[in-house]
Amino acid sequence: CRVVVDAGAYPVCWAGLLTKDLPQTLELCAHAGRGGDSYQALKLRLADPSVSAGVTAAVLRSGEPVVQMMSEGGEENWAPHARQLGLGALHGLPLHLRGQVAGVIVIGLDAVDAFSNAEMAVFEEIAKELSLGLERLRARKAQEVAEKQLQANLRRFQAILASEHAGVLVIDKTEHVQFCNATFCRMFDLVEAPEQLIGLSSTQVNDKTRMAFANPERERKRIDAILERDEPVDVEEISISRGRTY
């Protein structure tokens, strides 16, 4: 909107998106130019008579660019806000998200005559770029939400594992420690706290734990064989030093 007003010298430009919580309601998301105060908390209900005949509703209904001029319907039928701002013509263009009309961008012009073909072509390109930007923004926000939810789930998962009586060590596909609980550290006589092992490589952990086994070389080969088969193993006893068995 700022580029349209500052670089293009158009008197006003604003953009709005359909809201999720209020059906058939358009909420302002950007504005530049005249009438800043009147646009601060703008929400248009498309069913209102003052809106349903305007350029915004026409764009949302058709999904196509729409130009409206005061000269077409007379000043008495001209949109009140456009009349107050001294505008003679309005050009509305749809904003799309995932193939659906999700909002509009409206440009106002002082002159009563229509926008030129060159101007309309430029504005259509601007609307397409805005739509692509909105797609990327929504996708990024959705990814951020998913990542936050994943982190919250991971924290709950870690809290559960941390309270378990069994020793737990989680190593990811890059062969680095992602989680370790206190029981694991006690089982293998580690002086480090669980959080100090996070990020260590599997080789580093092996070096720290190998001497806790009653037969380090045998257990090392056993672990390598399990990893090579890539299959779960349970109900298996491990002999630890000082006569301990887990």
pLDDT winner (highest mean) among 20-29, 56-65, 80-89, 139-148: 56-65
Instruction: Say if residues 10 and 109 touch (Cβ distance below 8 Å).
Output: yes
Q: What are the pLDDT digits (tens) for 211-242?
A: 899 998 988 888 888 888 888 887 788 888 88
Beta bridge partners, 176, equal 201
Q: What are the pLDDT digits (tens) for 19-49?
A: 876 667 888 888 888 876 666 556 777 777 7
Residue 237 Cα to chain centre, angstroms: 47
Instruction: Say if residues 58 and 106 touch (Cβ distance below 8 Å).
Output: no
Question: Strand ranges (DSSP E) for the chain?
Answer: 12-18, 25-33, 43-45, 66-69, 89-97, 100-109, 169-171, 177-180, 239-240, 244-245
pLDDT value of residue 128: 85
pLDDT of 74 strictly over 60: no
SS3 39: helix
CA torsion, points 5, 94, 54, 25, in degrees to nearest 10? -100
User: Which of the 8 DSSP states describes residue 85?
Assistant: T
Q: What are the pLDDT digits (tens) for 141-178?
A: 777 777 787 777 777 676 666 666 778 888 888 899 98
Q: What's the rounded Cα separation, in Å, for the pair 149 and 94?
A: 33
pLDDT value of residue 85: 77
Least confident of 49-53, 89-93, 128-132: 49-53
pLDDT value of residue 238: 85
pLDDT value of residue 162: 65
Instruction: Find the angle CA(95)-CA(101)-CA(102) to the nearest 5 degrees.
Output: 70
